[in-house]
Amino acid sequence: MTREKMSLDDIKNTNNIIKSDFFLVKNIEGENIASAYVQKITSRIVNVVYWGNLQKYDKLYPMNFISFKTFEYYSNKKNIELISVGTATKDSTPNIGLCNFKTNIGCSCSPKLNFIWNNE
């Protein structure tokens, strides 16, 4: 299965339907090196749709920083009860490195149900 990437226009258009937050991490030169895109699913639940960093900056651990700051931001919002950080699988197989990263930053694992519409 090939996943299509969302363009900036796609994200803006989606934001008109599902309110979202955006986070950027810049290096000392002002270059964007990491980002997060979080959708407000309900008034109490947010979902991290995307977070990542430019690979050449891995040694600076921007993912640790952006995940900490994202959690900090939403923990200061008293009405937020759940921050979903998405799946940790590829083709239904757990990505152990991603699972470890998520548990190391304080997440807990839970199954995610998938529903398929069958209109026959």
Residue 2 has pLDDT above 70, yes or no: no
pLDDT of residue 67: 93
- Joined tokens for residue 60: 């600076």
Q: What is the pTM of this model?
A: 0.80
- Joined tokens for residue 106: 């304080």
Which residue reads 């299965």 in tokens? Answer: 1
Mean pLDDT of the chain: 87
Structural domains in the chain, CATH included, are 8-104 (3.40.630.30)
CA gap 91, 94 in Å, rounded: 8
Tell me the percentage of the chain whose pLDDT exceeds 70. 97
Residue 107: Cβ within 10 Å count: 17
